[in-house]
Amino acid sequence: MALVTAWLRIPFWQRVLGGFLLGALAGWLMGPAAETWFQPLGDVYVNLIKMIAIPLVLFAVINAVGALHGQKSIAALAGRTFAWFAVTAVLAVAVGLAVGWIIKPGVGVGALSIASDYTPKDVPGPLDVLLNIVPQNPFRALSATAAGKTPEGMNVIVPSNSTILQVIFFAGLIGFAFVKLGDKVVGLRSLAREANDMMIQVTRFVLEFTPLGTFGLIAGLVGAYGFEKLLPLGNFVIALFIACILQIVVVYGALLLIHGLNPLKFFRGAAPAMQVGFVASSSFAAMPVSLRAVQHNHGVDKDYAAFAVPLGASIKMDGCGAIYPALAAVFIAQYSGIELHAGTYVTIALASVLGSFGTAGVPGTAVIMATVVLSAAGLPLEAIGYLYAIDRVLDMMRTMTNVTGQMLVPVLVAKETGLLDRTVYEAASSNVGVEHDDAGQPIKEQA
């Protein structure tokens, strides 16, 4: 018991970082055997996160919409949120293009071969994406999480064209009904609030497994992947990491400063979710941690956060939907010896920003987005197969950028609308798990 208490007193981000470093060491020492021995730990952790994601979003959105003061307030907040989604996406595209133009990752690269496991992606049309937001059967959408894999072996979070956007849509309708019916549904409104509190507590319990899950995921990745795949495309990997770091530190940091917020405090509070996004390579896997961090560490109003964070996890993808397609287009143009003109750069930027919303919730978003951008720019589509071999490593940094942006926008909007608790923000907590006092007893949060 004393050992557990001592463990829980260590700041959450330090426990996760320790799991990351130990996992990398174990993977390096054991090689491919690490995947066999330790990957199951990571798989169990990801399954736990997926287990809580749908009910957490369902009850959080119902409670949030039901508690807000009418549809006008919700529409105004949604409008600001989408506006900042678009602004940060435009800035992300600019960063990707600039880094590609300066570093020139496609110049001087030897002959590349298309990854053996690469298959072209089918790009859904805008109408298909729009229609899929409305579930034909809400219970199917609620029960479809992580039920299978694509032909390429990629885990499908919500197969059969169902997405978490369907859950948000259905939960939002229920919340609007609560607003419309008023005192007639006091009991149901209270039940939704209690169910939301219950899921928050379950989330805290699950998050305590994050260090162990991080250890398993990183050990399996390092052991199975090695470094030989990175060598031919090392410049592209470096360019992507630089672009993502610039987006996170410079762009996001500048936006926080403009809003009068200390960036260091934001990143301290966001660190746990950023870590989970990096090791799990999934915005959905990081979403419960992101929601907890935005509410608990940043002081964003719980009702607004419950709407904005799940929405961001579905359509806000600065790494996968903006930086990566723009940088990939520049890389492929340089590798193929195709000169890009000013008009082509504009086309790439528009396709990246608009397409990132259009492919929301589709498995393999980054590859699909790159396909959309290459088609718009008239670049060879098959060249995406060159980058597919290193996609897993790229996805770690892309996803961390996604997750950071998904937390940034609610903080900015909350600051603009008076929904940010500056006392909580300035305290800069980094603990999203179960907090304990000096005696080792769980601390009960204020409602």
Residue 439 confidence (pLDDT): 47
Beta bridge partners, 436, equal: 442
Q: What is the pLDDT of residue 446?
A: 42
State pLDDT tens for residues 241-290: 999 999 999 999 999 999 999 999 999 999 989 988 888 877 877 888 89
Is the CA virtual torsion 126, 129, 133, 137 positive or negative?
A: positive
Integer-rounded Cα Rg, in Å, for the chain is: 21
Per-residue pLDDT tens over the stretch 312-344: 887 788 988 889 999 999 988 888 888 888 888
Alpha-carbon gap, residue 368 to 375, rounded angstroms: 11
- For the chain, the average pLDDT equals 79
**Cα distance between residue 319 and residue 350, in whole Å:** 16
Mean pLDDT calculated for residue range 208-230: 77
- pLDDT by residue (tens digit) across 172-184? 888 888 888 888 8
pLDDT digits (tens, 9 = 90+) for 195-209: 888 887 887 788 788
Q: Which of 37, 27, 17 is nearest to 225 (CA)?
A: 27
Q: DSSP 3-state assignment of 433?
A: coil
What average pLDDT score do residues 423-437 get?
Answer: 74
Question: What distances in angstroms separate CA 445 from CA 145, 284, 303, 435, 437, one per listed residue?
Answer: 30, 25, 16, 9, 12
Tokens of 289: 């941690």
| Percentage, residues of the chain above pLDDT 90 | 22
- Average confidence (pLDDT) over 291-300: 92
Residue partners of 140: CB distance under 8 A and separation at least 6: 160, 162
For the beta carbon of residue 100, count every other beta carbon within 10 angstroms: 27
d(CA 90, CA 98): 12
AA letter at 43: D
> Is 23 in a helix, a strand, or coil?
helix
- In tens, the pLDDT along 12-22 reads 767 878 888 88
125 has pLDDT over 70: no
Q: What is the pLDDT of residue 260?
A: 95
CB 193 within 8 A of CB 302: no
d(CA 108, CA 396) in angstroms, rounded, equals 26
